[in-house]
Amino acid sequence: MKTNAVNLTETEYLLPGNRACPGCALSLAYRHILKALEGQVIVTVPASCLTVLHGMYPVTSVNVPCVNTPFPSTGASATGLVAGLKALGKKGLTVLAIAGDGGTHDIGIQALSGAAERQEDFIYICYDNEGYMNTGNQRSGSTPLGAISGTTPILGKQQNQKDMTAIMEAHSIPYVATANASYPLDLYEKVRKAKAIEGTRFIHVFTPCPPGWGFPYSDTIKIGELAVKTGWVVLYEVEDGTFRLTSASESIARRGNLRPVRDYLREQGRFKNITEEQINELQDWVNARWSRCLDRATSL
Ligand SMILES: Cc1ncc(C[n+]2csc(CCOP(=O)(O)OP(=O)(O)O)c2C)c(N)n1
Ligand code: SF4
C-alpha cells in the first residue's frame, strides 16, 4: 500500500524543541527518515547542522542512538558499526550514515567510496543544502554556479555542482535515489525500500536552507517544489540498475512541461548577482540531465 498522510506512522523519533533554524528542510526530511526506520537504527553523523539539531549533551532532540564521527570518516564509522553489530550477533538494526554535502561531496567522499566499493551494509543519506551551512555557508562541491556564499561573495561560485548521485551509481551499489524534503512521502518510501535491501544504499536528499539561500522561512516547501517543477532536482531511483522516475518528476515527465529554471533562481537571494550567461548555462545543464532521465525512464 502506498504511504499517505493517514497511514504514516504517528511515532516520532525527532522530538519538538530541536536547535535547527525555523523553516529548515533538514528537520522535515530527518523526521520522515527516522519514521521510516521505525527506531530500529544506529545513526552516525559528522559535524554539521545535523549535529546542532541533535543538541548538546546532556540534552538531545532525537530518541535513537547516535555516534558523532570526525568529518571525513562517516563511511568508515558506518563500516565499523556494521562490523560491531555483526560481531555481537545483533540483527534487525539498520546503520544509517547521514551527512551534509560538505561531509559527502568533499570531505567524506573517500571513506564513502571505499565503503561502497566494499559493498558495506548500511544506508548513507546525504542531505544537500548546497554549502557548509553550519559554519556560515562556505561553498562546497554542491554549491551551484552563480550562487553567492561566504567564500564566493559578490560574483558567486564560478563552477557548477558535482553530481554525487551519479558518482554513487557508478559504484554499482544496489540502490541509489534522489529525494526532496518537500516530498516527504516519496522520501519515506525510498528509505523504507532501502531498509529492505542489503549492501550500500545511497539517498541524496535536497534540503533547502532559508538563511543560507536567502529566502523567507515560510517558503521552504515552495522552494523545494520549484526545484522539482523546473528540473533543478529530478526525483528518481535506481534499483539493481533499473532507473525509475518517481513522484512529481514522474508526473511532469508524463505531462511534459518543466518550468524555466529562472523561476527557481529568482526566488533566492544567493542568485541575486547571477548573469544571463550563467542562467543559460544552468538551463542547458538542467535540460541535458532531464533528457538523459527521460531516455532512461523505460516505464514511461
Ligand atoms: C576536519 C574538520 N574541518 C572543519 C570542521 C568545521 N566544520 C564543522 S561543521 C562544518 C560544515 C559542515 O558542512 P556540511 O557537511 O555541508 O553540513 P551542513 O553544516 O551544511 O549541515 C565545518 C566546516 C570540522 N568540524 N572538522
Ligand atoms: S543553517 Fe540551514 S541547514 Fe542549517 S539548521 Fe539552519 S536552515 Fe537548517
Tens of pLDDT along the chain (300 residues) come to 778 888 888 999 999 889 999 999 999 999 999 999 999 999 999 999 999 999 988 999 999 999 999 999 999 999 999 999 999 999 999 999 999 999 999 999 999 999 999 999 999 999 999 999 999 999 999 999 999 999 999 999 999 999 999 999 999 999 999 999 999 999 999 999 999 999 999 999 999 999 999 999 999 999 999 999 999 999 999 999 999 999 999 999 998 789 999 999 999 999 999 999 999 999 999 999 999 999 999 777
**pLDDT computed for residue 300 by the predictor:** 74
CB of 49 shorter than 6 A to ligand 1: yes
**pLDDT computed for residue 296 by the predictor:** 96
**pLDDT computed for residue 194 by the predictor:** 98
Q: How far apart are CA 48 and CA 107, in angstroms?
A: 12
User: Could you give the C-alpha distances from 129 to 79, 134, 162, 205, 296, in angstroms and in order?
Assistant: 25, 10, 13, 9, 27
Between the CA of 51 and the centroid of ligand 2 the distance, in Å, is: 11
Query: From atom 5 of ligand 2, which residue's Cα is the shortest distance away?
Result: 20
Between the CA of 71 and the centroid of ligand 1 the distance, in Å, is: 7
**pLDDT computed for residue 155 by the predictor:** 95
**pLDDT computed for residue 256 by the predictor:** 76
The pick from 18, 209, 215, 217 for probing ligand 2's pocket by mutation, whose C-beta has the most ligand atoms within 8 angstroms, reads: 209
CB of 132 shorter than 6 A to ligand 1: yes
**pLDDT computed for residue 1 by the predictor:** 74
Strand order across the beta sheet in which 41-46 lies: 66-69, 41-46, 94-100, 123-128, 201-206, 175-180, 236-239, 242-245
Class at the top of the CATH hierarchy for domain 25-296: alpha beta
130 phi, psi to nearest 5 deg: 60, 35
Please check whether residue 245 is in contact with residue 296, taking contact to mean a CB–CB distance below 8 angstroms: no
Q: Where are the domains of the chain?
A: 25-296
CB of 243 shorter than 6 A to ligand 1: no
Q: How far apart are CA 104 and CA 112, in angstroms?
A: 8
Q: Is the pTM higher than 0.85?
A: yes
Ligand 1 atom at shortest distance from the alpha carbon of 103:
15
